[in-house]
C-alpha cells in the first residue's frame, strides 16, 4: 500500500500511528502536487488538500481519517503588518495549496471586506512590510506561529464547523477501504502519546509545548461532524461562485 503525504508536523504525528501497520510505504510531495500524483499512482492513497476535490471529484475519500482543526493549531498562519487590516497585496509562501489560495479570497472578502491581490512569494525569507499567509513547516522551523493568526481558526469560525484541511483520498475504493481497516482510531492514542511522538521529531521544545498545549484543536479521526464540515466547505465555494455546482463527496 502506497501512501503519499505532505511533509509537515501534522503528517509526521499521524505517521507515528502507522509504524506497526505492515505493508505501507510512505512517500512525500508538495501539497499542490498530491492529487496529481494519484493520476499516475491509481492504487495509491494520498493526504490531499480538501479543496483539491473540486477538480478531482472522482476520488474516493476516507470516512475514517483526515486532518482537521478548530482553534489555535493550524498548518497555515496569517501575518499582518502591525495594526493593518486593509491588505492590498497578500504574499503566499511555504507549502501552498489550493486551500490557501481560495480561502484567502473568501476570508478577506467576508471578514475584512477587502479583495487583495494574491501572489506567490519567491523570496528566501519573508520581507518586512509585507502581509503573508505561510503554510507548512516554515511556520514552526522559523517560530513564526508565535505572532501569526491561525488560518484554521478563521475558517472554522466562518463555517461554524471544524476546518478539514487534508483528506485521505484515492481513485481505488478497495485500497482506501483497506487503509481504513488497517488503522484504528488515533485521536485518543495520540493524546496519550503526544510527548513521546514529538520527542522523536526535530521541532524543538517550544514547538512541542505549543502543540501539546493546543492539542485539543487538532483531530485525525473523521466523524459525521467533519464529513458535514467538508460539505460546508464546498457550499462556501459554491456560494462565492468558485464552483458552478454542488457535488457529492464520495466518502467510503
**pLDDT the model gives residue 182:** 94
User: How buried is 49 (Cβ within 10 angstroms: 0-12 exposed, 13-18 middle, 19+ buried)?
Assistant: buried
Instruction: Give CA–CA dist 120/238, Å, rounded.
Output: 25
The residues facing 221 across adjacent strands are 65
CATH no. for 76-159: 3.40.190
Rounded to the nearest angstrom, the gap between the alpha carbon of residue 193 and the centroid of all alpha carbons in its chain is 22
Question: Over the stretch 164-188, which tens digit does the pLDDT of each residue have?
Answer: 999 999 999 999 999 999 999 999 9
Other beta carbons less than 10 A from residue 44's beta carbon:
21
Distances 246 to 50, 54, 157, 235 between C-alpha atoms, Å? 15, 9, 22, 7
**pLDDT the model gives residue 8:** 98
Residue 60 belongs to what H/E stretch? strand 60-69
Higher pLDDT, 208 or 143: 208
Which cell numbers in the block locate residue 207? 514547538
How many Cα atoms sit within 13 Å of 211 on the Cβ side? Answer: 26
What is the pLDDT confidence band of residue 66, given thresholds at 50, 70 and 90? very high
* CATH 3.40.190.10 residue window(s) in the chain: 2-67+162-251
With a cut of 90, say whether residue 20 has pLDDT above it: no
Q: Class of 2-67+162-251 per CATH? A: alpha beta
Task: Please name the residues in contact with 214: beta carbons below 8 A apart, sequence gap of 6 or more.
Answer: 71, 72, 73
Question: Over the stretch 107-163, which tens digit does the pLDDT of each residue have?
Answer: 999 988 888 999 999 888 888 889 999 999 999 987 678 889 999 999 999 999 999
Which cell numbers in the block locate residue 55? 477538480
With a cut of 80, say whether residue 82 has pLDDT above it: no
Give alpha helix (H) positions in the chain.
9-15, 34-40, 98-112, 138-141, 151-159, 173-182, 187-199, 205-213, 224-239
**pLDDT the model gives residue 238:** 97
Instruction: Give CA–CA dist 33/48, Å, rounded.
Output: 9
pTM: 0.96
How many Cα atoms sit within 13 Å of 70 on the Cβ side? Answer: 10
Amino acid at each position: 500500500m502506497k501512501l503519499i503525504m505532505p511533509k509537515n508536523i501534522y503528517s509526521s504525528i499521524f505517521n507515528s500511528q502507522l509504524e506497526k501497520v505492515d505493508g505501507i510505504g510512505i512517500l512525500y510531495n508538495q501539497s499542490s502536487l498530491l492529487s496529481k500524483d494519484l493520476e499516475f499512482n491509481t492504487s495509491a492513497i494520498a493526504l490531499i488538500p480538501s479543496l483539491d476535490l473540486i477538480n478531482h471529484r472522482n476520488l474516493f475519500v476516507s470516512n475514517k481519517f483526515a486532518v482537521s482543526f478548530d482553534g489555535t493549531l493550524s498548518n497555515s498562519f496569517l501575518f499582518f503588518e502591525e495594526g493593518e487590516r486593509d491588505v492590498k497585496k497578500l504574499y503566499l509562501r511555504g507549502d501552498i495549496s489550493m486551500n490557501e489560495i481560495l480561502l484567502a479570497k473568501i476570508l478577506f472578502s467576508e471578514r475584512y471586506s477587502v479583495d487583495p491581490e494574491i501572489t506567490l512569494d519567491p523570496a528566501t525569507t519573508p520581507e518586512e512590510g509585507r502581509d503573508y499567509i505561510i503554510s507548512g513547516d516554515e511556520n514552526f522551523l522559523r517560530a513564526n506561529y508565535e505572532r501569526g493568526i491561525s488560518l484554521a481558526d478563521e475558517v472554522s469560525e466562518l463555517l461554524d464547523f471544524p476546518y478539514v484541511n487534508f483528506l485521505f483520498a484515492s481513485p481505488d475504493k478497495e485500497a482506501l477501504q483497506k487503509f481504513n481497516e488497517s488503522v484504528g482510531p488515533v485521536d485518543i492514542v495520540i493524546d496519550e502519546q503526544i510527548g513521546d511522538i514529538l520527542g522523536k521529531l526535530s521541532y524543538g521544545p517550544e514547538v512541542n509545548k505549543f502543540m501539546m498545549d493546543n492539542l485539543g484543536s487538532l483531530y485525525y479521526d473523521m466523524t459525521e461532524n467533519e464529513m458535514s464540515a467538508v460539505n460546508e466547505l464546498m457550499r462556501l465555494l459554491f456560494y462565492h461562485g468558485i464552483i458552478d455546482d454542488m457535488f457529492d463527496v464520495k466518502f467510503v
